[in-house]
Structure 1
Amino acid sequence: MTIAAILEARDAHIISVNPEATVREVVALLAAQRIGAVPVVEDGRVIGILSERDIIRGLAGEGPALLDRAAGEVMTSPVISVEPGLEPLEGLTLMTRQRVRHLPVMAGEAMIGFVSIGDLVKARIEAIEREAEAMRVYIQTA
């Protein structure tokens, strides 16, 4: 299984924001969509990611004034991304090493998806369950 297969199995719509969006607008979007991060896109290019973690750190340092700042000022950049052919376990390893929870999926310069650690963990668990079931069937028929 690859990250491309994960993307194929779900809604292809990518929620993103532009760098001029206020943090307040992004907070409302995150809450409404029940997501933890959004890519920040300018002229079709992913220039950063704004996550709940970025917002919490900013609020701790600046207080409520952060909510009126632009997403482009608060986002994490440069972006760590993956290619669609990567296996979920490799993506999880990258997330662990880089201490990130969301990755844009890039085909060249184009973002074709956005995955979270939850997406990759779910895919990994499903793969393990399929392997275990195949082993049970093999043992029963042997």
Structure 2
Amino acid sequence: MKVANILEVKGTEVMTVRPGDTIRDVAHRLVEENVGALVVSGGAGTLEGIISERDISRGLAFHGPNIGTLLASDLMTRGVVTCGPEDSISDTARVMTNRRIRHLPVQDGNRIVGIISIGDILKYRLDEVMLETRVLRDIALAVR
């Protein structure tokens, strides 16, 4: 199975913020959208970075109460690891686990076509295991 299979179910909407948005605005956006990370883009689908709840909590530890006035570009992760729609789910899960990444933009060429989370991968794998279980149970019942 491929990352594209997750995007077929989840959708391809990519929520973004601009590098010049304040951390206060970024935090509000994370809450409004009920997501854990946002792509940082200057426009036209560019990927300048990614900012997550983890980045903000680390920023709070270093900058204290003044964090709200910092910019997304101050706290974002810059060297963003991405995956492609044709990448296998198991390989992508391995990368996310080994690198301790919870959100991964999906890039097709130079365009960001989605974002997946470790929760999306877990849900997909769980659904897959449940389907296999039902099939095996049906086979066992049919053999009786």
Task: State the TM bucket, normalised to the shorter chain.
Answer: over 0.9
Map 1:105-116 to 2 at 5 A: 105-116=106-117
Q: CA RMSD in A?
A: 1.2
Q: Return structure 1 stretches of 4+ with deviation > 3 angstroms.
A: none
Aligned position for 2:32: 32
Structure 2-normalised TM-score?
0.93
Q: What is the aligned partner in structure 2 of residue 119 from structure 1?
A: 120
Unaligned 5+ segments in structure 1 are none
Question: Is structure 2 residue 97 aligned with structure 1 residue 96?
Answer: yes
Does the CA contact (< 8 Å) of 1:89 and 1:124 recur in 2?
Answer: no
Q: Which moved more, 1:35-44 or 1:94-103?
A: 35-44
Partner of 1:114, secondary structure, is strand
Contact 1:36 1:52 in 2 (8 A): yes
Displacement, 1:87?
A: 2.5
Matched to 1:84, the amino acid is: P
Q: In 1, Cα distance between the equivalents of 2:38 and 2:85?
A: 18
Aligned residue pairs total 142
Cα deviation code 1:61-82 (max 9, x no counterpart): 1112121111011101100010
Identify the residue that residue 10 of structure 1 maps to in structure 2. Answer: 10
Matched, 1:54 2:55: yes
Q: Structure 2: 5+ residue runs without aligned partners?
A: none
TM-score (norm: length of structure 1): 0.94
CA–CA separation in structure 1 for the residues paired with 2:96 and 2:114:
16
Distance in structure 2 (CA, Å) of the matches to 1:47 and 1:113: 15
In 1, the alpha carbon distance for the partners of 2:128 and 2:92 equals 15
Residue 139 of structure 1, CA deviation: 1.9
> What residue in structure 1 maps to residue 142 of structure 2?
141
1:114 Cα deviation from its structure 2 partner: 0.5
Give how far 1:42 is off. 2.2
Aligned partner of 1:77 in structure 2 is 78
Assess if the C-alpha contact under 8 Å between 2:96 and 2:102 holds in 1: yes
Q: Work out the CA distance in 2 between the residues paired with 1:87 and 1:133.
A: 23
